[in-house]
Amino acid sequence: MKRALHIISSGRGERSYSRALGTAIIQKLIGKNEIGTVVERDLSKSPPPLLDEALVGEFYKLPETIDAKGKQLLTYADTIFNEMKEADIIVIGTPMYNFGISGLLKAWIDQLVRVGITYTYNADGTRTGCLLNKKVYLAVASGGRLSYWPEAYEFVESYIKAVFSAYTGITDVCTYRVEGTAEQHVTVNYEEIIQSI
Ligand SMILES: Cc1cc2nc3c(=O)[nH]c(=O)nc-3n(C[C@H](O)[C@H](O)[C@H](O)COP(=O)(O)O)c2cc1C
């Protein structure tokens, strides 16, 4: 059976709609015997370190030139890369914040994407992703609704698809949404939202 990684990036704990939607996806996949193990990474409990000059410097070093201090700085990045490498299915929950993904999720992506690790350059300048044969389920919660805005204001799914396909090799991204969480008397039918799974 396949292995799943559940990324939670809302800090609202049990009250988070994106977390609940991600959990519903995980439960459905377990029910269908598609996944056997789940590793949960709650970014709000252990926030990813923000990039600074020292860490970015380590990102661009050849592996054989990284010393003990560099390895220490790379601990978080190496840990989350290994979690991604070992997962077949990745469920990512994110709130929509100011039209984009949560800051916690952006910080996680900035730690994940690395030349020579998640992608390599070919002789002709094109890139090859290193995280292959993986499927992402994206669980997005928003206070409003996509239909309120011009299509060009969709930055959550489009960003995740762009960054994963360009810099990791993951091209299979399936998006599910809880919309209108800021409306009065919200009741969410998660089963209905994920009925296509
Ligand atoms: C700082 C902030 C920015 C937000 N920006 C948007 C937005 O641009 N569009 C929108 O529809 N909802 C926006 N919301 C509402 C959240 O998307 C909504 O509360 C959602 O349910 C949060 O996800 P969660 O329940 O998983 O925490 C924002 C909320 C906060 C706190």
Q: Is 196 labelled as part of a ligand binding site? A: no
In this predicted structure, what is the pLDDT of residue 154?
A: 96
- Give yes or no for residue 161 having a pLDDT over 90: yes
In this predicted structure, what is the pLDDT of residue 192?
A: 98
Instruction: Enumerate residues lining ligand 1, CB below 6 A.
Output: 10, 12, 16-19, 95-99, 141-144, 181-182
Q: Are 136 and 164 in contact (CB under 8 A)?
A: yes
Taking the centre of ligand 1 as the mean of its atom positions, its distance from the CA of residue 10, in whole angstroms, is 10
Q: Is 46 labelled as part of a ligand binding site? A: no
Strand, helix or coil at 13?
Answer: helix
In this predicted structure, what is the pLDDT of residue 171?
A: 98
In this predicted structure, what is the pLDDT of residue 62?
A: 87
Separation in Å, CA 175 to CA 91, 133, 140, 153: 10, 18, 7, 16
Task: Identify the weakest region by mean pLDDT among 61-70, 87-96, 126-135.
Answer: 61-70
Q: Is 10 labelled as part of a ligand binding site? A: yes
Structure tokens at 51: 């990039």
CATH number, domain containing residue 143 = 3.40.50.360
Contacts of 171-175 with CB under 8 Å at 24 or more apart are: 172/134, 172/135, 172/136, 173/136, 173/138, 174/135, 174/136, 174/137, 174/138, 175/137, 175/138, 175/140
The full DSSP string for 145-173 is: -GGGS-GGG--HHHHHHHHHHHHT---EE
Q: Is 44 labelled as part of a ligand binding site? A: no
Structural domain for 74, as ranges: 2-193
- Give yes or no for residue 163 having a pLDDT over 90: yes
Taking the centre of ligand 1 as the mean of its atom positions, its distance from the CA of residue 36, in whole angstroms, is 32
b/e map 11-24, b = 16+ CB within 10 Å: beeeebbbbbbbbb
Q: What is the mean pLDDT of residues 38-55?
A: 97
Structure tokens at 152: 């060009």
- Give yes or no for residue 63 having a pLDDT over 90: no
- Partner residues linked to 115 by β-bridges: 119
> Kind and range of the H or E element at 179?
strand 172-179
Pocket test for ligand 1, best of 9, 25, 97 (most atoms within 8 A of CB): 97
- What's the structural domain count of the chain? 1
Strand, helix or coil at 62?
Answer: coil
The 10s digit of each residue's pLDDT in 100-118 is 999 999 999 999 999 999 9
In this predicted structure, what is the pLDDT of residue 57?
A: 96
Point out the ligand 1 atom lying closest to the alpha carbon of residue 19. Answer: 26
Q: Is 98 labelled as part of a ligand binding site? A: yes
Residues 6 or more apart in contact with residue 14 via CB below 8 angstroms? none
In this predicted structure, what is the pLDDT of residue 17?
A: 98
Distance (Å, rounded) from C-alpha 183 to C-alpha 176? 19
Taking the centre of ligand 1 as the mean of its atom positions, its distance from the CA of residue 181, in whole angstroms, is 8
